[in-house]
Structure 1
Amino acid sequence: MGVSRLDVFYRRLLLTKLFIGGWGKPEDLKRIFEFRKIIGDRERCKTLVPEDYPVYLNKTEELTDCYIHEGYFISPLEHLVPGILPSEAVKARRSSLKNVSDLFVMGGALILESTVLLRWLEREGYWPLGMTGISMGGYMASLAVTNWPKPIPLVPCLSWSTASSVFTTGVLSKAVNWTKLEKQYAVNSLYEQEIIKLLEYCGDDSFKMGSESLKGKDSSDPLLDLSGDLGVPVGQHFRAEGGSGGADRHCFMSSANSSQTHCLSSAADRKKKTFSTQCCRPSLHTESINFMKGVMDECTHMANFSVPVDTSLIIVVQAKEDAYIPRAGVLSLPEIWPECEVRFLRGGHISAYLFKQKVFRQAIYDAFNRFCLKYPTLH
């Protein structure tokens, strides 16, 4: 199935550019990678936030009224259940991420903040608790649930397993400031010489999506031309020993033509070339895209985070023709989270957001009902 024309058209109406500041400092990326190893492991996170960490919310005020209070935005969710969101999410609605690294900082901070909020709600007697969100909000809700040590309903709407496809093959890839990213990648050798060696997630996803996500697309239709220069074709995958977050490392052999071979090997050897750099180095744009895929998968791929305690409480809602969240060539959520349910809507990202809210709400009802039947005394 193709992609939604409305998604493509809507994206073209927006002038916002992503990552105008570049990748982020190499030293910051190194620290983020190390932090990801901790935040991605639920057991290692148990002591990161004290059990009695204070959250300045006043229980005497009704959660059914919208208000901003002491740094948090409280609102009802269509008369279903009270909703609670960090106020930063409200302030950031019209902003964009300055650096690639900002996305990872936001995700890590949200995991810890959600832990604090869920603990506070438990202490105050609210039950049952659940997490939901739309688009990036759905992805962030998923991250939060990977770190929660108890069964909890989760309904991620219009999100998927990794952000790498979003920024490299989805319509948002056209909003990425590739000129800035390519320049930084070329000028600062640390990205190529040191950062790439720290990438531990090297699954099929990053290198398959470039070609597979475009299969079946009508290349004659300029409205659907999302690819740009997505990189060299992908050839054979050679399995190597080891892995991280449950994902195997691989060595990828890709051919620019019949006489040139470029090898990206696992972890420390991924960037080693089998021939001279001058002979077979891909274009700078291609290398920047591959670097983006690797960095995004390292820090955002759900396979790099703990599996939620009870995946049967997860109902994923996706749009079949979503051009913002490509699914081709990446691990599906059911592969990472056994027993989760996926409900597909007809149409794309924008039409689902505008016209399918009823389906989102029904999924939330169903997830909470499922939880209450399965865990009637868990509160």
Structure 2
Amino acid sequence: MVVSNLRVAHYWLDHVYGALMYRLRLSPPFFSNGWGGARLVLLEQLTRQLISQGLANFSLKYWPPPPIDPVWRTVWESKAAKLQEGIFPTPCDPLVRECLPPESHIARVRLLMPRSVPAHKMACVVHLAGTGDHGFERRLRLGGPLLKDNIATLVLESPFYGNRRPRLQRGAKLLCVSDLLVLGRATIEEARTLLYWLDKQAGFSKLGVCGLSMGGVHAAMVGSLHPTPLAVLPLLSPHSAAVAFCEGIMKYGTAWEVLMRDEACSMTLDQVRERMRAVLSLTDVTRFPIPKNPRAVIFVGATNDGYIPGNSMLELQRAWPGSEVRWVTGGHVSSFFLHGKVFRQAIRDGVARLS
């Protein structure tokens, strides 16, 4: 009975948080400027072309990625560890770069690693941002305790977030639907380039990619497209952005009325939601190739997630035989704060399963 009550409490915490954030309109909704016009058309065409050609072929055609040469500065250092920040121009495809706001053209990362262990005796995991995760601190707190396991943490500041946020965008509320597609494409290309740099330039022995919620979707895509085995850790993540915006609580924070008016012929609410599903189906990770070592893929889901239905994560597991799903008791919001130990253990285990 106590466990049942806790599950209900966690589920309702998601809904209370969602009500405060979205239904009460305490902050602007997502996509308040509409679909994105010609940019959305271009991004849809680019993505559909990649899918039709085969994502496995894309992975090989665009490998190795463009080289980067980050400019580093030391944020702090102690006897045990060192935190550095690096910046570099985004290595995105020129067409994708044109769709990014100017503020997002320079990428920023932070690298946390022990001082006494050489890179070739360590693993490094790239942590990608979830919705609303500006800056670096949340993910550095998640990765920090892994230093004692010789696992370094590299945190990428997402396009449209933190110092890369467009001047007119408030918080994490993307102005156009096209922004969501270009954010994802840019994140994937930047993460692939960083993994190549960590391997060839920094010399880490094992690599992984991790993300929570939206970051988990991107982590799964990056892990799928990488030509060598990675530890892949999608945490509290759906198999597609369509689940988050059309089924979960975030549907209450979407500017459906604006999207209805933003087409040449006005659409009904049902029609605009179907249009949204069609656009966001391009983010369906079950279409992506199985990662090179599916045993090193560990999904972590929450039993009472009001944002991400549990069956969404199971779709990914079915698409990637050999992967593992673990569950924590809680909702989307509470699990982030309460289950860091479980997330870290998944990272340890995923890295350990690499040969």
Whether the TM-score (by the shorter chain) exceeds 0.5 is yes
Q: Which amino acid aligns with 1:158?
A: L
| 1:285 paired residue among 224, 248, 269 | 269
Please give the residue correspondences for 1:96-245 in structure 2 after superposition, counting only pairs within 5 Å: 96-123=173-200, 124-185=202-263, 188-189=264-265
Deviations 1:139-169 (A, max 9, x none): 1111211211111101111002111121012
| 1:43 paired residue among 24, 34, 57 | 57
SS at match of 1:161: coil
| 2:320 paired residue among 337, 353, 365 | 337
| In structure 2, distance between residues paired with 1:329 and 1:56 | 37
Q: 1:22 to 1:106 in 2, by over 3 A?
A: same
Q: Which amino acid aligns with 1:55?
A: D
Matched, 1:22 2:34: yes
SS at match of 2:56: coil
Matched, 1:306 2:289: yes
| 1:69 paired residue among 86, 100, 108 | 86
The alpha carbon displacement at 1:305 in A equals: 2.3
In the alignment, is the contact (CA less than 8 A) between 1:68 and 1:87 conserved in 2?
no
Match of 2:15?
8
Q: Which amino acid aligns with 2:218?
A: M
In the alignment, is the contact (CA less than 8 A) between 2:40 and 2:177 conserved in 1?
no
| In structure 2, distance between residues paired with 1:313 and 1:62 | 32
Matched, 1:32 2:63: no
Match of 1:262?
none
In the alignment, is the contact (CA less than 8 A) between 2:74 and 2:84 conserved in 1?
no
In the alignment, is the contact (CA less than 8 A) between 1:55 and 1:116 conserved in 2?
no
Match of 2:331?
348
| In structure 1, distance between residues paired with 2:236 and 2:255 | 24
Unaligned runs of 5+ in 2: 1-6, 88-106, 113-142
Q: Which amino acid aligns with 2:144?
A: E
Match of 2:145?
79
The alpha carbon displacement at 1:60 in A equals: 9.5
In the alignment, is the contact (CA less than 8 A) between 1:74 and 1:82 conserved in 2?
no
Deviations 1:292-331 (A, max 9, x none): 112111x210123222222111000000111111245787
The alpha carbon displacement at 1:90 in A equals: 4.0
The alpha carbon displacement at 1:338 in A equals: 1.1
Match of 2:351?
368
Match of 2:306?
323
| In structure 1, distance between residues paired with 2:312 and 2:353 | 31
Unaligned runs of 5+ in 1: 193-282
SS at match of 2:82: coil
The alpha carbon displacement at 1:362 in A equals: 0.7
Q: Give the stretch that moved more between structures: 58-67 or 158-167.
A: 58-67
SS at match of 1:111: helix
| In structure 2, distance between residues paired with 1:154 and 1:325 | 19
Q: 1:6 to 1:52 in 2, by over 3 A?
A: closer
SS at match of 1:4: helix
Deviations 1:227-248 (A, max 9, x none): xxxxxxxxxxxxxxxxxxxxxx
TM-score, normalised to structure 2, is: 0.71
SS at match of 1:66: strand
Q: Which amino acid aligns with 1:23?
A: W
| In structure 1, distance between residues paired with 2:262 and 2:65 | 42
Q: Which amino acid aligns with 2:328?
A: L
Matched residue count: 276
Q: Which amino acid aligns with 1:107?
A: G
Q: Which amino acid aligns with 2:290?
A: V
In the alignment, is the contact (CA less than 8 A) between 1:107 and 1:143 conserved in 2?
no
Match of 2:280?
296
| 1:54 paired residue among 34, 44, 68 | 68
SS at match of 1:156: strand
Match of 2:93?
none
In the alignment, is the contact (CA less than 8 A) between 1:42 and 1:149 conserved in 2?
no
In the alignment, is the contact (CA less than 8 A) between 2:260 and 2:269 conserved in 1?
yes
In the alignment, is the contact (CA less than 8 A) between 2:108 and 2:156 conserved in 1?
yes
Q: Which amino acid aligns with 1:87?
A: E
**Identity across matched positions, percent:** 29
Q: 1:90 to 1:73 in 2, by over 3 A?
A: farther
SS at match of 1:78: helix
| In structure 2, distance between residues paired with 1:142 and 1:12 | 29
SS at match of 1:159: coil
TM-score, normalised to structure 1, is: 0.66
Larger Rg: 1
Deviations 1:51-75 (A, max 9, x none): 5612315599999433432242214
